[in-house]
Amino acid sequence: MTEHTSSQVEKAKRKLVKLLAGEPGFVGAGISMGASGQYEIVVLVKEASSPVVDKAPSEWEGIPVRTQVGGAPRKF
């Protein structure tokens, strides 16, 4: 697997958020350091049955993606 810089991961996360932002149940996304020491994108969803769970890719721009249930959408 290719090493990614934090700025590359941040850019990839922003692109993924733009893609998923309109999906019901989407809360947001963050960056985490996986068990292997590699960056991963964490997609937060409102509940496990949210349609966004099926639409979130397992990998985005070469970076692993996982979904996690929890949180509520932020109000801006």
Domain count of the fold of the chain: 1
Let me know if residue 74 belongs to a domain: no
**Neighbouring C-alpha atoms within 13 Å toward the C-beta of 38:** 13
For residue 56, the enclosing domain spans 6-69
Give the predicted TM-score (pTM) of the model.
0.84
pLDDT confidence of residue 75: 54
Q: Which CATH number covers residue 51?
A: 3.30.70
Confidence tier at 76 by pLDDT (50, 70, 90): very low
Q: Are β-strands 59-60 and 39-45 bridged in parallel, bridged antiparallel, or unpaired?
A: unpaired
69 or 1, higher pLDDT: 69
Let me know if residue 76 belongs to a domain: no
Let me know if residue 51 belongs to a domain: yes
Mean predicted confidence (pLDDT) in 8-21: 96
Which residues lie across from 69 on neighbouring strands?
Answer: 45
